Structure 1
């Protein structure tokens, strides 16, 4: 039985690594679907803004588990002038005894092919007008990883001291950089970002498995997003989109299929949506005499409302498959506020 539980734990850990991408910077969840593509793509800082956009997100996994993974983010981006955008992201990602805290600063350069309608008062899909814009962005920041060993037992069952346990809160810091490009049109958008270009963490785990060489390209992730907005003669609009991401270090790849529906109001809009994440990777497990394979699958319904300058969104992610961890899924709440400076 002990061997079985070890295999089960390894299997669950594999799938969680697909979800968090190994704490290599800000994890890729469905935050971007809550009107915040800037979290993934630095080139989106200040796009379609004539003011400041503030978003706060809290995500909690497996409410029935102690020290379950959780993530908090705060992002602020603004349009500095007709061709420049700025942004900042602060986040804290915790998973049991491991945690990472990051701070990122962003500059984006925007090339407007339609100067007359390059910026809008509201970060609202229904106000895109005749926007036709190519953008380039760069984010530079720092990340601090920590491993809290203050409650670890230094001695094994034979009374021998484990030299790998320090009983302190170990931490290490490093710099990181993302670069990306975006094209936003009245109806469609496309984004491409390379993440973790300078990412090279120090080893704080005391295990050769984590002793990566300082190859700055090993941790690069590729993130691409595409979407199209269909308008109708009614207050409803529909936005199908996809997102692809891959990791060079782990060779993992996943694809998001998304569909959102918007309902335009006099003072804002409502949206509902559904996201389905499918990984290209899987793990094998034994069920009785049969050896089976399961890939990572995540279903996320989304609800949100934008009323005047306030934004609220909630989504619930649930893992599909025979083997899952915890009785519940992943809850995420986003709060936002738009500061309009020029109206």
Structure 2
């Protein structure tokens, strides 16, 4: 009975995630890695930014979701950027692997006011597979081989920046999914989701060594017609070019404002060219009795630093 209850809870929480057919979007973007969330950030920075992310969800529950990803982006010329992401994701007996390649272009509205607009396009390729290796053939004799499909898709993104304020609007998985190899009645083929990321970085002065960055991430899933919101705050301390930060994120379903999915403290640092970030997500729903929480770890390195002739890529 206990396993049945856990399974039903997990299915209820994962209905949103299952339709994405892409890398699960938790708090990785807060670890100095907004490109992982939006292609419009590709090429912002005077270096090759490489980030490795590991997400282990719902520790203590067998076959819980587990994800690894590697992302990198770099400036291309003075006004553009390119980036790539590869990932491996498993959730029980369902597996998905894939990657995306992105191109972004950055326009200057007014360089004296640090006023910019960016737009981007990504091509995605995802392989989704149901692994029957651990299935009991006595439960369903119709299942005789693995089910898999490969699906190409596209994302589009925009980014508006003015001074310390930023706003990113994005649409992911624009094309419908190929469901011919699965149950076409129950398997969703509409993968589109839309998301907004906005925030503001506050410093008392340009020379100040402390800043506060409140931000909001909102994501809407077209198929399930549900949405989630993250409310985030980061506190960052600078030591010349190095920095340290701490903060928290609060995620909730928008039709259940008073019942958060999780609350997550976040910490991190950048020392020289190396970066480390960590988040521990404290589950705030029925899974709390079965799981010890979710761990999100980010490791990174910045390579080949250079100087751009356009402030739009700073």
Same fold (TM over 0.5): yes
Asked if structure 1 preserves the Cα contact closer than 8 Å seen for 2:153 and 2:175, the reply is: yes
Number of residue equivalences: 305
**Aligned 1:130-279 pairs, distance under 5 A:** 131-156=114-139, 162-163=141-142, 165-166=143-144, 168-206=145-183, 208-210=185-187, 212=188, 218-232=190-204, 234-279=208-253
Give the equivalent residue in structure 1 for 2:63.
67
Asked if structure 1 preserves the Cα contact closer than 8 Å seen for 2:9 and 2:286, the reply is: no
Q: How big is each residue's C-alpha offset from its partner over 1:89-127, in whole Å with a ceiling of 9 and x where there is no partner?
A: 0011111111111110000011023558xxxxxxxxxxx
Distance 1:108 1:333 in 2: 26
- Cα 1:304–1:187 shift into 2, 3 Å: same
Tell me how large the CA RMSD over aligned residues is. Answer: 2.3
Distance 1:8 1:336 in 2: 35
Distance 2:285 2:124 in 1: 37
Deviation at 1:37, TM superposition (A): 0.9
Deviation at 1:219, TM superposition (A): 2.0
Query: Gaps spanning 5+ residues in structure 2: where?
Result: 308-314
- Structure 1 residue ranges (4+ consecutive) displaced by more than 4 angstroms after TM superposition: 4-8, 203-207, 293-296
Comparing both chains, which one has the higher relative contact order based on Cα–Cα distances under 8 Å and sequence gaps of 6 or more?
Answer: 2
Asked if structure 1 preserves the Cα contact closer than 8 Å seen for 2:85 and 2:101, the reply is: yes
Counterpart of 2:76 (choices 76, 80, 89) is 80
Distance 2:291 2:270 in 1: 31
Deviation at 1:27, TM superposition (A): 1.5
- Cα 1:195–1:52 shift into 2, 3 Å: same
Distance 1:318 1:169 in 2: 35
Deviation at 1:318, TM superposition (A): 1.4
Residue 332 (1) aligns with residue 299 (2)? no
Distance 1:109 1:63 in 2: 40
Give the equivalent residue in structure 1 for 2:53.
57
Instruction: Name the SS for the 2:29 alignment partner.
Output: helix
Deviation at 1:171, TM superposition (A): 1.5
Distance 2:43 2:29 in 1: 15
Give the equivalent residue in structure 1 for 2:26.
29
Q: How big is each residue's C-alpha offset from its partner over 1:23-65, in whole Å with a ceiling of 9 and x where there is no partner?
A: 4212211111001111111111112x22211000001123323
Give the equivalent residue in structure 1 for 2:280.
316
Asked if structure 2 preserves the Cα contact closer than 8 Å seen for 1:60 and 1:330, the reply is: yes
Distance 1:315 1:281 in 2: 25
Deviation at 1:68, TM superposition (A): 1.9
Distance 1:274 1:294 in 2: 17
Query: Gaps spanning 5+ residues in structure 1: where?
Result: 117-129, 283-292
Distance 1:195 1:61 in 2: 23
Give the equivalent residue in structure 2 for 1:40.
37
Asked if structure 1 preserves the Cα contact closer than 8 Å seen for 2:19 and 2:223, the reply is: no
Asked if structure 1 preserves the Cα contact closer than 8 Å seen for 2:102 and 2:120, the reply is: yes
Deviation at 1:204, TM superposition (A): 4.2
| TM-score, scaled relative to structure 1 | 0.82
Deviation at 1:224, TM superposition (A): 0.2
